[in-house]
Chains A and B, each alone.
Chain A
Amino acid sequence: MNLRPDPTFYPSARLAMEGPVETLAFALMLSPDGSRPDGLAVVDVDPASDSYGQIVHSLFMPNTGDEFHHFGWNACSSALSPLTGHAFLERRYLIIPGIRSSRIYIIDVKDPRKAKIHKIIEPEELFARTGYSRPHTIHCGPEGIYVSTLGGGGKDGTDGPPGIFIMDCETFEILGRYEMDRGAQDKHYDFWWNLPRDYMVSSEWGLPPQFENGVVPEDLLSNRYGHAIHFWDLRARRNIQTIDLGANHQMALEIRPAHDPAKQYGFCGVVVDTETLQGAIFTWWRNDDGTFEAKKTVTIDPVPADADDLPDLLKGFGAVPPLVTDIDLSLDDRYLYVACWGLGEMHQYDVSDPMAPRLTGKVEIGGIVARTPHPNGKAFGYGPQMVEISRDGKRVYWTNSLYSTWDDQFYPGEGGAAMVMARVGDGGGLTLDRDFWVEFPEGYRSHQIRLEGGDCSTDSFCYPSA
């Protein structure tokens, strides 16, 4: 407990943009075949430092087969909520779930260059306390840390629906399930909220048998992956509305609400439209009467390709689907970054008008067919995937792995880990920085990135930016 709020907590997104620039980043490393333990890489992103762009500390876990994916903080700007009053927490621990093992690591990064394990929550405890498995997204909210899960109980995670559980933000004890009434929600992926307006939005990927051993083509072609988003009364813990985006909109993944809580809209990325092979962005919004609506506002077309250049999975289609796997919104709610993991492109949209996004920048790197190298000449395996934006909105970082078994299907052969950075132009535009290139240990892949002091997909703000 501090006497003053953590200086990295900001009342509004605008104040967070004015905060100090990040000097360190945290990136997850996973061993795709589970032969070695997964780890956390601490990357120097301070251009004034001698070790700029290098891993300055690595922490490997004592287990194998965790499959690190997403992670988050024990506390963020939501601690300044006038309602919950946890203003004196420290942003000190990273919570890293293994989505294959269901094990959760609490990592103490008070001194990031000496990051160490603080606590390990074994899978059995998660199963016993929640009946959920395969923990995924982390956000700090009312009553503690919220963690979404991808699986229910049982060996293959299909015994009951997946959901969200709550952890104590100081002891990291698992408190129990979040949902009082889940309505139609039977699959899960991401979630986020608007704290002062008291609503939450959640999305759907698929159940564990649909992803753990790779994408199941029959399920995809028969539209059996998730294609709905759910709206919740946050504190009443009830699903108040479910919007089906249409069965062809397979895998509604990342939920990105406007950071300014006075704005009542947000975005959701859809991996693939099974009718057109397009990737899509939906804009969702809340009406004055409290009901929600969603509309498709961006489509990204597939690119025709020779079957010989395509992996087995895609040969029959004669085209590369964009595969929108991650999206991220800058803190000023102006630019939405969209990772097209199949094409090998990172798009930047101006979403000042959320109903009419405008493509303002694009970087080509990697890709199933394009295989565009980095400007420094090095090969970039896979495509742009987990994307993170600096608080000031000037730098965009991303890695390249999606999920171990899916990487192998879409990009047969080992692609290696990568983490790159692009700079944002004053009036938009996106250019890769040729000097920023992180070398990871051989045999590892890289997944989500977190920035020191918070970033554009961790912090929830309780006061408007205006």
Chain B
Amino acid sequence: MDTAALWGAVIGIGVYHGLNPGMGWPLAVSSALMERRRSALFRALAALAAGHFASMVLVLVPFSALAALVRWEREIRLGAALIVIGMGLFLLIDRRHPRMLSRVPPSRLALWSFLAALAHGAGLMLVPLYLGIGRIGAAEGGHGAAASLLAGNTGVALLVAGLHTAAMILAGGAMATAVYLWLGLRVLSRSWLNLDLVWALSLIAVGALGLLGAWHG
């Protein structure tokens, strides 16, 4: 895949996360309805975005440090891909809802969003894409000093997380706004699809692509 395709995939996965009710858009609808004002919808979306972004960063940044070890680049990419596939397989087998999420009070949306993304491996879904982007970047920029490479990598990781989160919250926000303003709550239960299986398979697919990329890279 070329760089543009990888960035496109980062955005595409953002849209996919955003539309998935499990990543929180119904919480924004609920906040606006409970407080009886539209501004609550945007405050909730901001909190959800902050939590999601933090979760992406937490997962991507360690990989950006690893990616500085250029010598082991292929092994790192293979390992990362296997972790992502492993998470997908785990979610495929363990189809139960993570219980820790039900202990988070409804007032702490950012924390909820952070934990929901973490528990569902949302950040992991980006890892193979991020490593792909980083590799192309490194090849183009030549072999600089390890320190600047690390800084550059972290910058790319933040950019990936930021772009992904922006796409995620725009898609989720559009859905929440549409349900709140026009479609009504009935759509909420009708449009809520069980994505558990699709989600787990997505992780496996992204991991497999990463595996393939590392192999041929």
Contacts and interface: CB of A to CB of B under 8 A. Distances in A.
A82 B27 contact: yes
Nearest to B112: A83
Contacts of A198: 105-107
Interface string B69-102: 0000000000000000000000000011101011
Interface in B145-188: 185-186, 188
Interface stretch (A1-9, A65-73, A205-213, A403-411): A1-9
B5 interface: no
Given A80-B188, A85-B21, A466-B36, A3 B193 contact: yes
Interface string A1-34: 1111100011110010000000000000000000
Nearest to A461: B185
A466 B186 CA distance: 13
Contact of B192 (A10, A87, A195, A466): A87
B70 to A, nearest CB: 41
A462 interface: yes
Contacts of A463: 29-30, 33, 185, 188
A463 B34 CA distance: 7
B29 A80 contact: no
A143 interface: yes
A307 interface: no
B185 A86 contact: no
A82 B26 contact: yes
Nearest to A14: B185
Interface in B18-47: 21-22, 24, 26-27, 29-30, 33-34, 36
B23 to A, nearest CB: 10
Contacts of A83: 27, 101-102, 104, 106, 112
B190 A4 contact: yes
A196 B29 CA distance: 12
A235 B103 CA distance: 5
A82 B24 contact: yes
Nearest to B25: A82
Contact of A196 (B34, B101, B185, B190): B34
Given A87-B194, A196-B106, A235-B102, A11 B36 contact: no
Interface in A141-190: 142-143, 170
A82 B29 contact: yes
Given A84-B102, A262-B33, A463-B33, A11 B185 contact: yes
A464 interface: yes
Contact of B96 (A12, A87, A170): A170
A143 B100 CA distance: 8
Nearest to A2: B194
A87 B107 contact: no
B185 A87 contact: no
B168 to A, nearest CB: 16
Contacts of B107: 198
Interface residues of B, number: 31
A221 interface: no
Interface string A218-241: 000000000000000001100000
Contact of B95 (A1, A3, A87, A197): A1
A11 B96 contact: no
Given A12-B185, A198-B106, A85 B96 contact: no
Contacts of B34: 196, 261-262, 464
A338 B83 CA distance: 59
A83 B102 CA distance: 7
A466 B37 CA distance: 12
A88 interface: yes
Given A80-B189, A85-B22, A463-B185, A143 B99 contact: yes
A1 B194 contact: yes
A170 B36 CA distance: 35
Nearest to B186: A15
A74 to B, nearest CB: 14
Contacts of A196: 30, 34, 106
B36 A262 contact: yes
A4 B106 contact: no
A143 B103 contact: yes
Contacts of A142: 102-103
Contact of A11 (B27, B97, B186): B186
A15 B96 contact: no
A452 to B, nearest CB: 18
B189 to A, nearest CB: 5
B24 A464 contact: no
Interface in A77-107: 80, 82-88
Interface in B95-123: 95-97, 99, 101-107, 112
Interface string A449-466: 000000000000011101
A12 B30 CA distance: 11
Interface of A: 1-5, 9-12, 15, 80, 82-88, 142-143, 170, 195-198, 235-236, 261-262, 462-464, 466
Given A5-B189, A84-B97, 11 more contacts: A1-B95, A82-B21, A82-B26, A82-B29, A83-B112, A142-B103, A143-B99, A143-B102, A262-B34, A262-B36, A464-B34
18 contacts: A1-B196, A3-B194, A5-B189, A82-B30, A83-B106, A85-B21, A85-B101, A87-B21, A142-B103, A196-B30, A196-B34, A196-B106, A235-B102, A236-B105, A262-B34, A462-B30, A463-B30, A463-B33
